Structure 1
Amino acid sequence: MDTFTFPIQRAFWFLCLLMVSGISNAKTHPSYLTPEYCESLVEQFVGSGMRSLDKYVNENFNPAYRGGIRNTIQFLEQRSAWLKECDDYLTDTAQVNVFYSSEISRKIFTAMDALAKELQHVREGVEYPDDAGNNNPAPFIKRRYKTLAQLVDRHHTRMLMKKQFR
């Protein structure tokens, strides 16, 4: 074997090793994840999901009913997990985010988590005294919800504008 062949073989094996290790470390996603699935998930959350949250927070929220609070926390956590899974998938496969940008996606996820956390505090019995000294968590919950609603509305408006100019 000449001295020229050995370095070429070594380089070839090194490249093969890199390719194999790159493939084995590649992120895999469940087969049900598609751009269409993720888009429908976002539309459901932005539409009926946010309407349901709005009705709960602004009309039906009552700290005495822990079951409703638990269900709302579970709804938020589940949707957050689903949307984050789609965001990871879309980022990896299409270099886009589930919401119109990585910044707004991060902010929406943060707002969802903050609302769920605030609801969990209420469920655990944390006191929210108002000016009269009464326990009144409603303004805190409404403020968290309003932050989420404004961010989702910003995304929704942008998507409507995008569809208008297609």
Structure 2
Amino acid sequence: MDSLSSTIQRAFWLLCLLLASSVSNAKTHPSYLTEKYCDSVVEQFVDSGMRSLGKYVNEHFNPEYKGGIRNTIHFLEQRSAWLKECNDYLLDTGQTYVFYSDGNTRKIFAAIDALAKELQLVRQGVEYPDDAGNNNPAPFIKEHYETLANLVDQHHTRMLMKKQFQ
């Protein structure tokens, strides 16, 4: 009988050790992260964020104004960080991805990063010669923006359809 209680006691301690180690390895997230908060971050980016970004790229982008480029890079990096934080939270809590699926989420993050990188190159003075030999980075910036806008628009359409059938 002593052997059986000793085995049970060891099993119990092993179970306690496993539970304690899994708790210490669990990811913790800031208390403000909730599904509702993350939905609002995504909605803000998809709606007013993309509208503002589109207005800048299509109407106000000028490679000579480094401050505007810097601010836009900061905007993209900040929104990407917020969205990635929410994506990590949603994945850890068993919800879903911030942009519908893993593939779409990865594509949108890659498009955000590509646009920020291209803007950084313009800010650093990389030349984009056009057919006439003039420095014209606008078509390259617009191309990266359009890629992002199309991906975000696909997500937005899915969001609207999901809401329609709820």
Q: TM-score range by the shorter chain?
A: over 0.9
TM normalised by structure 1 equals 0.97
Q: Which consecutive residues of structure 2, in runs of 5 or more, have no partner in the other structure?
A: none
**In the alignment, which residue of structure 2 is the partner of 1:132?**
132
Tell me the CA shift for residue 129 of structure 1.
Answer: 1.3
3-state secondary structure, aligned to 2:93: helix
Which 10-residue stretch deviates more, 5-14 or 29-38?
5-14
**In the alignment, which residue of structure 2 is the partner of 1:39?**
39
Tell me the CA shift for residue 99 of structure 1.
Answer: 1.2
- In structure 2, give the amino acid aligned to 1:65: Y
Tell me the CA shift for residue 2 of structure 1.
Answer: 2.2
**In the alignment, which residue of structure 2 is the partner of 1:54?**
54
Identity of aligned residues (%): 77
Tell me the CA shift for residue 4 of structure 1.
Answer: 2.1
- 2 CA distance for matches of 1:147 and 1:38? 23
3-state secondary structure, aligned to 1:114: helix
Tell me the CA shift for residue 149 of structure 1.
Answer: 0.2
- In structure 2, give the amino acid aligned to 1:52: S
- 2 CA distance for matches of 1:10 and 1:130? 75
Q: Deviations over 1:105-161 (max 9, x none)?
A: 111111101100100000000111112221111111011101100000000001111
- In structure 1, give the amino acid aligned to 2:10: R
- In structure 1, give the amino acid aligned to 2:92: D
**In the alignment, which residue of structure 2 is the partner of 1:29?**
29
Q: Does 1:121 align with 2:127?
A: no
Q: How many residues align?
A: 166
**In the alignment, which residue of structure 2 is the partner of 1:8?**
8
TM normalised by structure 2 equals 0.97
- 1 CA distance for matches of 2:164 and 2:145? 28
Q: RMSD value over aligned CA atoms?
A: 1.0
Tell me the CA shift for residue 7 of structure 1.
Answer: 2.1
Q: Which runs of 4+ in 1 moved over 4 A?
A: none
- 2 CA distance for matches of 1:32 and 1:163? 24
